[in-house]
A and B are shown apart, each in its own frame.
Chain A
Amino acid sequence: MEKVYFVVSSVTYAMKGRRILASGGIKSEIGKRGRRADDKSCRYTIAVSSGNAEAAERMLRANSVRILERKDGGTT
């Protein structure tokens, strides 16, 4: 399944994001995987299926979870 990764600044926002998405019925996974060689800055990702990405992004932004970057692509 193709995934979309939302990069957030810390584990706190990753957890907050996951709870917000769960409350809206969107399953997500927390990880910490930089997808570029220069991505070494201790950031966490919230991964959702690509089909839920738009709704997830809206929910995160509406609940003050700052998305530092959105990375489309990648499969599990």
Chain B
Amino acid sequence: MIYLDNSATTSPKPQQVLDASARALRASANPGRSGHRMSVEAGERIYSARKTAADLFGMEDETRVIFTPGCTFSLNTAIKGIFSKGGHAVVSNLEHNAVMRPLEALRSEGVTYTAAAVYPGDDDATLDSFRRSINVNTKAIICTHASNVWGIRLPVERICALAHAYGLYMMIDAAQSAGVLPLDMKDGYDIVCAAGHKGLYGPMGTGLMLLSEKADIPPLITGGTGSGSASLIQPQELPDRFESGTLNLPGIAGLEAGISFVSAKGKENILRHEMSLVRRAYKGLSANKKVRLYTPEPDESFFAPVLSFNIEGVDSETAAAQLARRGIAVRAGLHCCPAAHRALGTLDTGAVRISPSAFTAARDIDRVIQTVRELKF
């Protein structure tokens, strides 16, 4: 199987990820709960992973790295925390349902939002669009770093400066970008939410919420933290405020190994490799008259390595099923992101998405191009 569904989850995982998770499963006690050797060692594994993640994202204080069950959990925590007392959010018109559904759920509590249009290749226009969407009730700008459908990359550094000029929180959904695109907390982001199992190559069921010193929000869930147990009040110290319940040690150990894999390869090298593959796919597919592409040829300044297309007159799920029968794994449909499909006019058809990883080879892309050419409907 040629696996090009890495935006959903990267596969295969590096061997060291499998090894780290297996080691943790074989000999794990509950981290941060007991004083015996196994529990202390488990605590050390978690702390080490926290430090490794902090280093990757340019954070000096590793206690501000929060482990979560996934990016969706991180986004829910952050959004429901920021808007616990109402307010208005500015989002992009490319947001995933992990951002849009929490905001919709908060409508009944008076939370409103405005979706700012993104102009691929024109960061000035995108920035103006965000600026015009801010009103007196706006508390935060929440935006994806890169569209999970089109790969369109948002100018988050400039949007962050805009947010801070207006005294707003700047929050990034880095589900598709963590481990691939440059992302440094020193650039001033207040909250960054990331998936552990995509570009960071960790196991599913892992996620991160990275908090700046300014980010002061309540937790989504409360419970046992292994600290301050005599009190019924949730500890306010980080990371315990947000980490109730037993942590996913096998997952987090694997995530640390995944982050180490990314660091060893170099994010820049991974990005360069994946972008070259996506450009190769774009060129090959654009030579096929049956194929419809929706964006300009992906350039690293404006795109992440994700590419979606359709075959004229063919439903995207049908096309994906045909590719699957020929040994090519892609994702079709709406990708949990109707907003991005609405923005580029594919809400009715969906699209076929291909997304490479560090393990994808040029010959895999050539096979996709060839197979799409051979498909008959």
Interface residues of A (CB under 8 A from B): 9-16, 19, 30-33, 40-44, 64, 66
Interface size on B, residues (CB 8 A): 26
The listed residue (A12, A43, A64, A66) touching B47 by CB distance below 8 A is: A12
Interface residues of B (CB under 8 A from A): 31-35, 40, 43-44, 46-47, 50-51, 61-63, 225-231, 235, 237, 239-240
A32-B34, A32-B35 as given contacts; A10 in contact with B240, CB under 8 Å: yes
Q: Knowing that A13-B237, A42-B228 are A-B contacts, what are 4 other residue pairs whose CB atoms are under 8 Å apart, sorted by A's residue number?
A: A11-B31, A12-B50, A14-B43, A15-B46
Q: Which residues of A contact B40 (CB under 8 A)?
A: 11, 30-32
Q: Which residues of A contact B239 (CB under 8 A)?
A: 12
How many A-B pairs have beta carbons closer than 8 Å: the answer is 65
> Quick check: A10 and B32 within 8 Å, CB to CB?
yes
Q: Which residues of A contact B225 (CB under 8 A)?
A: 10
A-B pairs, top 9 by smallest CB distance, nearest first, are A32-B35, A15-B47, A11-B32, A10-B227, A11-B43, A42-B229, A41-B230, A9-B227, A30-B40
> Quick check: A41 and B226 within 8 Å, CB to CB?
no
Q: Which residues of B contact A64 (CB under 8 A)?
A: 61
> Quick check: B34 and A43 within 8 Å, CB to CB?
no
Nearest B residue to A33 by beta-carbon distance? B35
Nearest B residue to A64 by beta-carbon distance? B61
Closest Cβ of chain B: how far from A63's Cβ, in Å? Answer: 10
A33-B35, A42-B228, A43-B227 as given contacts; A9 in contact with B47, CB under 8 Å: no
Q: Which residues of A contact B46 (CB under 8 A)?
A: 11-12, 15
19 A-B residue pairings within 8 Å (CB atoms): A9-B227, A10-B225, A10-B237, A11-B31, A11-B226, A11-B227, A12-B32, A12-B239, A14-B43, A16-B62, A30-B43, A32-B40, A41-B229, A41-B231, A42-B227, A43-B227, A44-B35, A64-B61, A66-B237
Closest Cβ of chain A: how far from B165's Cβ, in Å? Answer: 29
Q: Which residues of A contact B50 (CB under 8 A)?
A: 12
Q: Which residues of A contact B230 (CB under 8 A)?
A: 40-41
Nearest B residue to A32 by beta-carbon distance? B35
- Highest count of chain A CB atoms <10 Å: which of B40, B237, B239: B40
In the complex, what distance in Å separates the CA atom of A9 from the CA atom of B230?
12
- Highest count of chain B CB atoms <10 Å: which of A12, A13, A14, A16: A12
Closest Cβ of chain A: how far from B298's Cβ, in Å? Answer: 40
> Quick check: A12 and B35 within 8 Å, CB to CB?
no
Nearest A residue to B50 by beta-carbon distance? A12
In the complex, what distance in Å separates the CA atom of A66 from the CA atom of B61?
14
In the complex, what distance in Å separates the CA atom of A41 from the CA atom of B35?
13
> Quick check: A10 and B226 within 8 Å, CB to CB?
yes
In the complex, what distance in Å separates the CA atom of A48 from the CA atom of B237?
24
Q: Which residues of B contact A43 (CB under 8 A)?
A: 227-228
